[in-house]
Amino acid sequence: MTKREGWITGIVIAAVLIAAAGVWAIARPASDAAAESWLFTQGAQGGSLSENADGSYTLALTGIDMHTLAFTDRPIRAAKVVNTSGVVNSWNEIFQGDAPNAVLVELNPAGAEDSVVMTLGTPKMTGSVVTYPVTILADEAISETLEGAVGTRKAAAPMKFNTASLFIDGASSLPSNAWASNVLVAPYVDAGGWPVPDFVGMGSATGLKNFSAGFITQSAPCVPQWGGANQPVTGGTVAAAITAFQAVGGRVIPSIGGQSAPEGGPADLSANCPDVVKLQAAFEQIVSGLNLDRLDFDIEASGGIVYNQANSQRRAAAVAGLQVAHPDLQISLTLGTLPDGLPQAAVSVVNDFVNAGVKNLSLNAMAMWFGSDQPDMGATVFASLQATQAQFPNLPAGVTPALGVQGSGENFTTANACALGASIAKAGNVSSLGWWKVGPQAPDADPGYLFVSSFQAGLSGNTCPTSPPTPPGPTPPPAGTVGVDIARSAGTTTITVNGSSVPYPMTVVLSPWSSSVTWVGQDAGCAQPGCLVVASGKLTLTTSDAGVAFGESGTSTPTTCTYTRSDGTTAPCSIGSVTGSAPVAPVPAVLPDVVPTDSPSPSATDSPSPSSTPAVSPSAEPSKSIPVLVPASAEPSLSLS
């Protein structure tokens, strides 16, 4: 089932459930008749519904769609697509503390469709996983629901499922897509990358009104261009994308420099334009041509800033002259910082701008690539910002980290992003927040906007997401506790594996074993024929069940037993009772002593295939042994490139 099919299925089934329960038949006061009520449908690639120790349940939706379909209850007729992160972050606001009812429609591992009616608590989102505390109202087949069985019994919740959709009722409003107004939030976009950034689309999806666009370099001395795209600053596709965003109220802040145009390098616009007047004219082309009110300078080099006094002072003088014609133009300096603040080279650059009389000046601490992994990247980034603020207390200062794993071994996570946002909100004296980077070009550009939602959650004061609970898996049987019984009767041999109270994948090896085997019936715990193989005088059984039945040609009496669990550990097992007489093979043909080339090799992690159908002899009786299964129990180069 596709996500779109899941949405449709969820809506249809939810409508049937609500109609059957008579909810829509309840009269509402006339004053409330036209009140806006929004319903949501979320799609996911899979998930789990697990029971907690206190008897409550947790719903985890994995691979969740980053967009949620919203539509109104009648008589208002409207529909929109909103960010899933926005729904999560605004949950208490949009439901006003009244937990909504919902129906989960999912495909279980066998491919059958299940539906579960529940009440949802406040969700949490980590990456592409959303978890809900839930109270189960009914877990019924839809046919039983139509017969009026809603709420009459509670069936066992499915532990794991595949494609799913969740239909949620009754929000009083749509989630807010607003960002904190006292902090300039302007993540970096690789404007010279491919495809050309869609600022309008990114702004619509995230609610962001500001983007920093990197990077402007030079195509010839004193001639600016968009690095990477090799386009002129104005007149190309990048400029057109910026103009389109400005037309809908957005703001783009071009950044001059970056790692690809390091200080003093051949692509550095300032270093290769030795005349202050010409350099100011190049800056004028950028500001006037793109209709800017803010310009950023990302000054760096491999291994940190290489300070060139003449270059730095010429740049500062050109900017000061530019502000004569554009007195309201804001200037930011993006400078690599360490946990204890700006290095001396960066301090000198700031002083050159201050001494040149540059106005509306702010600092952007590029807090990344510290040279080694940090125990808490969120705290380290914020500490570097605070140290920068202490060095220049009279200048506004913001911060820009790099997302994910960096070459220096650092890993800035979504949890770090939320915590940093919360620290900024609490401090109240941070002028800006950016990050490298956002956009469609690569995974490190946060294409699913997971970091976006985490920064927003922290800045808005919402609870930072935590890792969702992992549904409990089967507990491996302790070493020395597994035993094997062999029973032969009426042409059927049954091997029963004891010692594990739940289905647990393991491989059991019995030797010596000389007789061949053939199937007499389907077994849920064994993916035939690859799970039962005779070779080299051994019988190898890979199963997640407690018993496997098969036909046998001849009689073998093994004396040794070992088993390998799915965690990779191997231990001896005991051979218990061996009962019954030598069986007669149910069919003349037997399986070869090796695994067929088109069959899977024995593996401790093999799982049953719904489409796998064994060959059944008309003369064979299927095994009558059905195991009882018990539910599982728990077990320093600084750069923006």
DSSP letter for each residue of 479-517 = TT--EEEEEEETTEEEEEEES-SS---EEEEEES--SEE
Write down the pLDDT at residue 623. Answer: 34
Give me the helix-helix angle, 309-325 and 276-289, nearest 10°. Answer: 50
Query: Average of pLDDT values for 372-399?
Result: 93
Question: Considering only 157-171, 298-312, 471-485, which range has the smallest mean pLDDT?
Answer: 471-485
pLDDT of 24 above 50: no
> Are 106 and 113 a contacting pair, CB within 8 Å?
yes
How does pLDDT run across 515-535, given as a tens digit for each residue?
Answer: 887 766 656 556 555 678 888
Sign of torsion over alpha carbons 453, 459, 463, 465? positive
Query: Average of pLDDT values for 251-279?
Result: 92
User: Given 411, 438, 459, which residue is the final one in a domain?
Assistant: 459
Q: CA-CA distance, 257 to 321, in Å (whole number)?
A: 19
Q: Which residue has the higher pLDDT, 492 or 586?
A: 492
Query: Average of pLDDT values for 201-215?
Result: 89
Other beta carbons less than 10 A from residue 352's beta carbon:
21
Write down the pLDDT at residue 590. Answer: 41
> Are 63 and 46 a contacting pair, CB within 8 Å?
yes
| Token pair of 204 as six digits | 């619509």
- Mean pLDDT of the residues in the chain: 77
Same domain as 400, residue 300:
yes
Write down the pLDDT at residue 529. Answer: 55
Same domain as 199, residue 315:
yes
Backbone angles phi, psi at 331, to 5 degrees: -125, 130
User: Given 459, 485, 516, which residue is the final one in a domain?
Assistant: 459
CA atoms within 13 A on the CB side of 383: 12
| Token pair of 288 as six digits | 């006037």
Write down the pLDDT at residue 161. Answer: 86
Helices and strands, counts by H and E, the chain: 12, 33
Judge whether 29 lies within some domain. Answer: no
pLDDT of 441 above 60: yes
pLDDT band of 196, cuts 50, 70, 90: confident
How does pLDDT run across 112-159, given as a tens digit for each residue?
Answer: 788 889 999 998 876 578 899 999 887 654 334 333 333 344 445 557
Give the helix/strand (H/E) hosting 594: none
pLDDT band of 53, cuts 50, 70, 90: confident
Same domain as 448, residue 386:
yes
Write down the pLDDT at residue 617. Answer: 35
Most confident option among 160-174, 378-392, 571-585: 378-392
Three-state DSSP state, 432: strand
pLDDT band of 390, cuts 50, 70, 90: very high
How does pLDDT run across 279-309, given as a tens digit for each residue?
Answer: 999 999 999 999 999 999 999 875 556 788 9
Same domain as 248, residue 279:
yes
Write down the pLDDT at residue 592. Answer: 42
How does pLDDT run across 391-415, given as a tens digit for each residue?
Answer: 999 999 999 999 988 877 788 998 9
Judge whether 614 lies within some domain. Answer: yes
Judge whether 179 lies within some domain. Answer: no
Report how far apart, in Å, the C-alpha atoms of 480 and of each of 559, 574, 587 are: 16, 8, 36
pLDDT of 593 above 60: no
Q: Number of folded domains in the chain?
A: 3
Same domain as 321, residue 200:
yes
Judge whether 467 lies within some domain. Answer: no
Backbone angles phi, psi at 351, to 5 degrees: -65, -35
Same domain as 427, residue 476:
no
Nearest C-alpha neighbor of 58 from the set 69, 46, 47: 47
Domain that holds residue 416: 184-459
Same domain as 199, residue 158:
no
pLDDT band of 613, cuts 50, 70, 90: very low
Percent of the chain with pLDDT over 90: 35
Q: Which residue has the higher pLDDT, 608 or 45?
A: 45
Judge whether 176 lies within some domain. Answer: no
With 0-12 / 13-18 / 19 or more C-beta atoms within 10 angstroms meaning exposed / middle / buried, residue 546 is: buried
> Are 432 and 185 a contacting pair, CB within 8 Å?
yes
How does pLDDT run across 315-338, given as a tens digit for each residue?
Answer: 999 999 999 999 999 999 999 999
Query: Average of pLDDT values for 535-558?
Result: 79
Same domain as 385, residue 499:
no
Judge whether 177 lies within some domain. Answer: no
Q: CA-CA distance, 63 to 129, in Å (whole number)?
A: 6
Same domain as 230, residue 340:
yes
pLDDT band of 634, cuts 50, 70, 90: very low
Q: Which residue has the higher pLDDT, 9 or 581?
A: 581
Write down the pLDDT at residue 249. Answer: 92
Same domain as 311, residue 252:
yes
Same domain as 478, residue 441:
no
Query: Average of pLDDT values for 507-513?
Result: 88
Write down the pLDDT at residue 580. Answer: 78
pLDDT band of 598, cuts 50, 70, 90: very low
Query: Average of pLDDT values for 371-394?
Result: 92
We report the CATH number of the domain holding residue 192 as 3.20.20.80
Same domain as 167, residue 188:
no
Q: Which residue has the higher pLDDT, 591 or 171?
A: 171
Query: Average of pLDDT values for 426-442?
Result: 87
Q: Which residue has the higher pLDDT, 523 or 245?
A: 245
User: Given 401, 435, 459, which residue is the final one in a domain?
Assistant: 459
Query: Average of pLDDT values for 611-630?
Result: 33
Query: Average of pLDDT values for 539-564?
Result: 80
Judge whether 378 lies within some domain. Answer: yes
Write down the pLDDT at residue 133. Answer: 94
- CB contact burial 570-589 (16+ within 10 A = b; e otherwise): ebebeeeeeeeeebebbbee
How does pLDDT run across 350-371, given as a tens digit for each residue?
Answer: 999 999 999 999 999 999 988 7
Q: Which residues contact 218 (CB under 8 A, 6 or more apart)?
A: 224, 225, 261, 267, 268, 269, 272, 273, 282
Nearest C-alpha neighbor of 364 from the set 330, 316, 329, 398: 398
Query: Average of pLDDT values for 257-281?
Result: 91
Write down the pLDDT at residue 240. Answer: 95
Write down the pLDDT at residue 236. Answer: 92
pLDDT of 449 above 50: yes
Judge whether 464 lies within some domain. Answer: no
Nearest C-alpha neighbor of 62 from the set 45, 49, 76: 45
pLDDT of 500 above 70: no
